[in-house]
Homo-oligomer: A and B are copies of this chain.
Amino acid sequence: MNNAQRSYLDSIANLDLLRQTRTGMPEVIYAESKTSTQTIAIAERILQHNQRVLVSRPNTETVEAILTRFNQETIIRGTADRIVTIAAANSRTPDIGGHVGIIAAGTSDLPAADEAAAICTELGCTVHRVTDVGVAGLHRLFEPLRQLINIPVDVIIVAAGMDGALPSVVTGLVDVPVIGLPTAVGYGYGGQGMAAMGTMLQSCAPGISIVNIDNGIGAGAVAARIARKMHDARTRGTE
List residues of chain B with CB within 8 A of the CB of A188. 182, 184, 193, 197, 201-202, 212-215
**Chain B residue with minimal CB distance to A183?**
B188
Structural contact, A146 and B15, CB atoms closer than 8 A: no
Whether a CB of chain B sits under 8 angstroms from the CB of A149 is yes
Q: A135-B168, A218-B208 are in contact. Are A8 and B1 (CB under 8 A)?
A: no
Known: A139-B13, A172-B136, A173-B19. A189 touches B206 (CB 8 A): no
Q: In the A-B complex, list the 5 residue pairs whose CB atoms are closest, starting with the nearest.
A: A190-B198, A188-B213, A195-B198, A206-B221, A233-B233
Known: A199-B199, A234-B239. 14 other contacts (CB 8 A): A7-B11, A12-B139, A20-B175, A33-B108, A135-B205, A163-B200, A188-B215, A190-B197, A191-B202, A196-B202, A206-B217, A208-B218, A209-B218, A235-B239
